[in-house]
Amino acid sequence: MTQPMPHVARMAPYTLVKVPAGDDHTLISLSQNESLRPPSPKVVKAASSVLTRSMLYPDPDWTELRLALAQHHELNAEYILCGNGSLDLIGCIARVFAGPDRSILAPEYAYPFFRSATQMANARFDIARESFLTVNVKAILDSVVADTGIVFVANPGNPTGTRISGGELERLRAGLRPDILLVVDEAYGEFADHLGESCFDMVNSGNTVILRTFSKAYGMAGFRVGWGLFPPAVAAEMRKVMNPNNVSAVSQAAAIAAVQDEKYMRETCEITTQLREEATTKLKDAGFDLFPSFTNFVLIDMGDPETAQNAEAALRRNGILVRPQGGVGLPHALRMTIGAKQDNEAAISILAQCKKEHAR
């Protein structure tokens, strides 16, 4: 039989929460950090309007989407690359800048796909200690070794939900060797934009990449559109390994409309933030410890792995899915996406019940 490359054979497939097959609309998914609102009606209209031209390939340079993003965020369109979700861009970055003799470094409880992308690139994955589930810049700098090629940091973090300031990110960049590529994944950046700490300018360092996505605040996970700011020399290398035509014409049209309907996305962030704060208060009232979240989810400490497992099973029996965190080294924790008010409340009441039963 044909054998895979040894580094692929060693890999475990990337796991998501098991969602029963079929179209069960009674299931409440609070497991994938999807938006609690559908995309803007303008997005749906724009996507529908290009369907009849689907015999054509999409624009491989995402020209209009880049212009829309550049105009909106006051950026240079030349620095923007788009991906089939930001996962696509993360995978390409790892393939271009890491390999058997160039390792990747990330914080202890980093987004698990950073590790998968590292394994796909046949590189070594190193981790740096976090403090209070928050990125620790000094620990990252102390963990750099001679062959470190990339440092990946999600800010805000997933599954932690915590964030570090723009000043801390700059301190990280300043402390890293210039040959190390720093990748700041801002998949949840829109939920923290109100803090006014954009790190987009860091792309000018020439060795920093900033990633964003339409999957979270824009409610467009199904369209699969991510984008990033890349220094020109980095972008040129990325282009060599990226699949051409990676973002469908429908998705490009949808993303352009989304950028032009900022108001809708901001409303989604406000609604989400308010519901997150309500959920946080209810969880704290029920005796749970929580770190502040700057995202559309909360990470709940269930006390121990067994209680977390029982609670996840109890939620599942009641048709509610959340994300266990054993794979990230936090087996005592569950991550709950902020959904509709009644869904959050239903989940919290089951979690509180599990906690009470465990205390008995």
**Which pair of structure tokens corresponds to residue 186?**
């801002």
Instruction: Find the part of the chain contacting ligand PLP (CB under 6 A) among 17-25, 80-88, 262-270, 274-282.
Output: 80-88
Count of residues in contact with ligand PLP, rule CB under 6 A: 13
Q: Which is nearer to ligand PLP, 86 or 344 (CB)?
A: 86
CB atoms within 10 A of CB 296: 28
Scan residues 6-45 and list those touching ligand PLP (CB under 6 A).
33
Residue 228 lies near ligand PLP (rule: CB under 6 A) = no
Cβ-closest residue to ligand PLP? 85
SS3 105: strand
Backbone angles phi, psi at 234, to 5 degrees: -70, -45
Quick one: which of 77, 144, 221, 290 contacts ligand PLP (CB under 6 A)? 221
Residue 301 lies near ligand PLP (rule: CB under 6 A) = no
CB 133 within 8 A of CB 328: no
DSSP 215-280: SSTTS-GGG--EEEE--HHHHHHHHHHSPTT-S-HHHHHHHHHHHHTHHHHHHHHHHHHHHHHHHH
Quick one: which of 36, 87, 133, 255 contacts ligand PLP (CB under 6 A)? 87
Nearest Cα residue to 191 out of 152, 224, 158, 229: 158
Residue 111 lies near ligand PLP (rule: CB under 6 A) = yes
Left (φ > 0), alpha (ψ -120 to 50) or beta: where does 132 sit?
left
Instruction: Find the part of the chain contacting ligand PLP (CB under 6 A) among 39-47, 51-59, 84-92, 196-204.
Output: 84-92
Q: Which is nearer to ligand PLP, 117 or 350 (CB)?
A: 117
Q: Which is nearer to ligand PLP, 163 or 355 (CB)?
A: 163
Quick one: which of 187, 199, 203, 348 contacts ligand PLP (CB under 6 A)? 187
Residue 81 lies near ligand PLP (rule: CB under 6 A) = no
Sign of CA dihedral 315, 319, 323, 326: positive
Residue 86 lies near ligand PLP (rule: CB under 6 A) = yes
SS3 350: helix
Contact residues toward ligand PLP (CB under 6 A) are 33, 85-87, 111, 154, 158, 185, 187, 213, 215, 221, 226
